[in-house]
Amino acid sequence: MAFYTFFLSCFLVSVSFVTIPTQTQTQTLAMSNSLLDLAHSIEFRDWLVCTRRNLHEWPELAFEEVKTSELIRSELDSLGIEYTWPVAKTGLVATIGSASGSESGPVFGLRADMDALPLQEKVEWEYKSKVDGKMHACGHDLHVTMLLGAARLLQQHKDKLKGTVKLFFQPGEEGHAGAYHMIQEGALQGVEAMFALHVDPLTPVGTIKSKPGPLLAASGRFHVTVKGKGGHGALHHKTIDPIIPVSYAVLALQQLVSRESDPLESRVVSVGFIKAGEGAYNVIPETVTFGGTFRSLTNEGFLYLKQRIKEIIETQAMVHRCTASVDFMESTLIPYPPLTNHLSVYDHVRKVGERLLGGANVHLTTPSMGAEDFSFFSQKIPAAMFFIGVGSENADQVHSLHSPYFFSNEKVLPVGAALHAAVAIEYLDKNLRSNEENVI
């Protein structure tokens, strides 16, 4: 009898902690769940596809996204959405919500990058790039379109939002740290948390994946010039051959990962090019240049690699009677920090995704040594990035990002637009209630 009484009391206590959705919560969830149906409507879907194809035909490189920015502003103007422009040369930040322009309610950020890559598109289809040597081979045209779709969905519900959503249309992601420059210009001020999507051609449409904690690596570059004394190959003893220390240095750099790094820590050092001489077989050149990339999932690992790269190259040059200059190009190509997903934002997106897309379509992934400048946002505020599937139904059209053959399944557009909007709507509702409970 005592055990039964104890069990009953525990049961009653546990019941008292069960969260029963309020009417407001129920309305928010209903509004969020309706987004996917609205995004899949014929009119909405056709608008998304048309917008994406327009962007794809006119790709622009980092900080040159003039037409892209014009298209975005035109769409925002037609929707009656306010925005700040220019931010970081060609970027803009739009604002939607019942708290727009005030300090009340939480503020949540959604981000899409805008720039293309210097690649010649080799996919033969009606809407291929019309600009020679430029292509949206990383899906940024899709990112912009999905965020514009979210803007349209959010604007339709702006009077019901429990705070403010800021939409970041960001330039210069591909190696030029556009996110860093937006932050430097104050664009992040007041934003409490942030979310971004990135397309994944190896994942089916309707599926998203991510993980809490480290997701993408910190990334830097190095450019090296080793100088010796050139001369005729037959009189090598009268030269100081710079090729020798460069050869030793390239081999020694590989040991930074194989012999100096904990095998349980992810680090990369890769030499991408070596240039020496003018093609003469019998001439020892005066200088050799080479360069590459180094990456780590932690800031500590990144700084260690940077220090050791410089030490190894300079020491090898000195041993072989040469001089070396190591340039990490930090003033022109700012290194990217690691992209770390904040647990609370990751969990929030995961739960929204499971309800919107189905639990079977939300997956845990592994970290990648690729880099993304959304990491600058994640270093400042709680943030999370998820990958969303754009895999083609035709296996012959499945190619990796940054490939001239990259091709996307446009069925992702309504899915991404609805997910963006749902994540923002539910974040505002949840955090407004949380703040009110804390005040009480």
Instruction: Tell me the pLDDT tens digit for each residue of 159-181.
Output: 999 999 999 999 999 999 999 99
Work out the pLDDT band at 21, boundaries 50, 70, 90.
low
Tokens linked to 202: 């190896």
Work out the pLDDT band at 113, boundaries 50, 70, 90.
very high
At residue 439, does pLDDT exceed 80? Answer: no
Cα(10)–Cα(218) distance, integer angstroms: 48
348 carries a ligand binding annotation: no
Is 317:244 a contact under the CB 8 Å cutoff? no
136 carries a ligand binding annotation: no
Average pLDDT over every residue of 227-234? 97
336-370 per-residue burial string, b: 16 or more CB within 10 A, e: under 16: bbbbbbbeebbebbbebbeebbeeebbbeeebbbe
Range list for CATH 3.30.70.360 in the chain: 218-327
For residue range 49-75, list pLDDT tens digits in order.
Answer: 999 999 999 999 999 999 999 999 999
User: Could you tell me the sign of the dihedral formed by the alpha carbons of 250, 251, 256, 262, in that order?
Assistant: positive
At residue 419, does pLDDT exceed 50? Answer: yes
At residue 438, does pLDDT exceed 60? Answer: no
Angle between helices 140-156 and 412-439 (to 10 degrees): 50
Considering the four listed CATH numbers 3.40.605.10, 3.40.50.300, 3.30.70.360, 3.40.50.1110, the one that applies to the domain covering 218-327 is 3.30.70.360
At residue 32, does pLDDT exceed 80? Answer: no
At residue 321, does pLDDT exceed 60? Answer: yes
393 carries a ligand binding annotation: no
Is 175:65 a contact under the CB 8 Å cutoff? no
354 carries a ligand binding annotation: no
User: Span 22-216+338-439: which CATH code?
Assistant: 3.40.630.10
237 carries a ligand binding annotation: no
Cα(220)–Cα(175) distance, integer angstroms: 10
Average pLDDT over every residue of 409-417? 97
Is 68:55 a contact under the CB 8 Å cutoff? yes
User: Could you tell me the sign of the dihedral formed by the alpha carbons of 345, 383, 56, 118, in that order?
Assistant: negative
Find out whether the peptide bond into 86 is cis, omega within 30 degrees of 0.
yes
At residue 4, does pLDDT exceed 90? Answer: no
Range list for CATH 3.40.630.10 in the chain: 22-216+338-439
Tokens linked to 91: 């970027």
The residue type at 406: F
